[in-house]
Amino acid sequence: MHKSKLITTLQLFTRQEISRLQEFLQSPYFYSEKERNQILPLYQHILAHYGNWNHPNLSKSHTLTVIYSKESGSTIKLEKLMSKLQQCIHKFIAIEYQSNKDSLVEDSIATIHFFRKHGKFNIADHQLAKAKKNQTSKKIKDSIYYLNEFKLNRDFFLDDALKSKTPEKNSFGVAQEPLDIYYLLHKLEYACTLLSFSRFRKPIDLDKITQFLENVKPIYAQSGILEVPILKTYYYTFEILRKPDFAKEDYSNLKLMIQKYTNVIPKKTLIILKSLLRNLIIRAFNRGATELASEIFENQKIDLASGFLSTETGILPSTFKNIVTMGLRAKDFVWVDNFLEKYKDKIIGAKSSKEIYNYNRACYYFEQKKYDEALALLNDQYVDIFYKNATKRLELKILYETNSEILDSKIDAFKIYIYRLSEKSILHHKREGNNNFINFLRQLRNPKSTFSQTRKDKLKAKIKECKFITEQIWLLDKISSNK
């Protein structure tokens, strides 16, 4: 059972979730007594070895002897039972991680419909008024808030219709407004995420969605709902992301807007907005605005301390790398060293967190000119193509800094490697970025480029004008330092 889907799924559960799952499996509401009597022993057997998932007792052969008698047990029978338990776990996940956690509104609506069905309109009215009062008292207003607001307003409207009363003027329009906010909010969130992805990774045709958001903006602006803080912030983010060039004023305005509405926008949305904000300034930095490094780093430290850069389970590899990169650029080596050690076991979403740590630690050594220590941490076995390429580039940079005799052969090998990568393995602009790095490194290697100021200026201009290029900042630094 060690590598089964069942064990793999249970490995993801925290102690608290494991306890909640046991309560769920014991509930007579979901399963018959016969099913529980089959499923619970298997679950409890696995639970006895929580955290020690490779324990010999979790083998199929041993589990068979625990769950069944010799006469009644078989591998096929155990696999069917494992499948049943897996289905139970999926049901638990569906309930535990349902998107609408505000069950009070859903419960109230169900109760209201029950009393209406049986003609008890006075009780239904009381329940509806109570639910509406609870809804309006909420300070944090996310998309689910507006969906629930629509449902409650709709029920007020339907309540009048059921009792043959004439609805108040504009009551249906008021009922519809939260639904418009809910829909528009999701549309904007989707558009902003895609725009950011398109800028950083792969260009996407977004004409339809951007045209739609442009066309409806005057209509919604006239109704006043674009003054809702979360919509106002997203629309401003959308407009900034559409611009081809970075404007410091736009960035500052968005940053202030997010700060202004921090107490009324849910943390989940703030995490997304802050991520988009960081992407804006990092993109400008990558395009040559190196003076932004300190500001980016300070923002990252604040967001990390506030819980906007990590989750309960850990920190993403891309975020981990960005923090290290900006910290090294800001020359805050002590802070970066502490960060690397504090979060090295908290990297999530990677097949090997150790490799992510090693690469970033190698970058740390590289910036301190400890080239032997950096090389010792690099290897060519990365599965992730991004880190595999980044490692090869870092190796070339080290060989350049140390005037290694093998640099030219390593450059040729990297060129061949990039050429042989399939279209599925590497995007066109990433391939071009690596090839341009190789070409400029060769020119930098040429004595004619380093001893003539005219040649240096021309090379610098070419690097700055190059649309797709990796390691642009390092290349420019090398020209400026007259290496």
Q: Give the count of domains, the chain.
A: 4
What's the pLDDT at 100? 47
325 and 455 within one domain: no
280 and 392 within one domain: no
410 and 365 within one domain: no
416 and 328 within one domain: no
Give me the mean pLDDT over the 18-43 stretch.
83
* pLDDT tens per residue, range 220-237: 888 888 899 999 999 999
3-state SS string for 433-475:
HHHHHHHHHHHHHCHHHHHCHHHHHHHHHHHHHCCCCCCHHHH
244 and 337 within one domain: no
**Three-class SS of residue 153?**
helix
Looking at mean pLDDT, say which of 3-7, 259-263, 443-447 comes out highest: 259-263
402 and 361 within one domain: no
CA distance 22 to 34: 16
Give me the mean pLDDT over the 64-93 stretch.
82
CA distance 83 to 133: 45
Which of 378, 410, 440 terminates a domain? The answer is 378
**Three-class SS of residue 60?**
helix
**pLDDT higher at 423 or 120:** 120
390 and 355 within one domain: no
CA distance 171 to 415: 67
Give me the mean pLDDT over the 59-63 stretch.
86
**pLDDT higher at 55 or 453:** 55
Domain interval for residue 322 = 294-378
Q: How confident is the model at residue 342 (pLDDT cuts 50, 70, 90)?
A: very high
Q: How confident is the model at residue 483 (pLDDT cuts 50, 70, 90)?
A: very low
Whether the pLDDT of residue 73 is over 70: the answer is no
Report yes or no: 422 and 431 within 8 Å, Cβ to Cβ: no
CA distance 88 to 111: 28
* pLDDT tens per residue, range 125-172: 888 888 888 888 888 888 888 888 888 777 666 655 555 455 454 444
Which tokens belong to 151?
């449902």
Which tokens belong to 250?
């736009």
Report yes or no: 400 and 441 within 8 Å, Cβ to Cβ: yes
For the chain, report the end-to-end CA distance as a whole number of angstroms.
58
Angle at 340 between CA 338 and CA 344, to 5 degrees: 130
Whether the pLDDT of residue 101 is over 80: the answer is no
Of the candidates 146, 126, 123, 125, the one whose C-alpha atom is nearest the C-alpha of residue 136 is 146
pTM for the whole structure: 0.65
432 and 398 within one domain: yes
Whether the pLDDT of residue 174 is over 60: the answer is no
Whether the pLDDT of residue 70 is over 70: the answer is no
Which of 287, 318, 333 terminates a domain? The answer is 287
* pLDDT tens per residue, range 384-418: 788 889 999 999 999 999 999 999 999 999 999 89
Whether the pLDDT of residue 246 is over 80: the answer is no
Q: How confident is the model at residue 469 (pLDDT cuts 50, 70, 90)?
A: confident
Report yes or no: 220 and 184 within 8 Å, Cβ to Cβ: yes
Where are any strands of DSSP class E within 74-135?
none
Report yes or no: 18 and 50 within 8 Å, Cβ to Cβ: yes
Name the percent of the chain in helix, strand, coil, to the closest 5: 75, 0, 25
Which of 267, 287, 307 terminates a domain? The answer is 287
Give me the mean pLDDT over the 289-309 stretch.
86
90 and 120 within one domain: no
111 and 73 within one domain: no
218 and 109 within one domain: yes
Torsion, CA 232, CA 234, CA 240, CA 241, rounded to 10: -170
273 and 316 within one domain: no
**Three-class SS of residue 347?**
strand
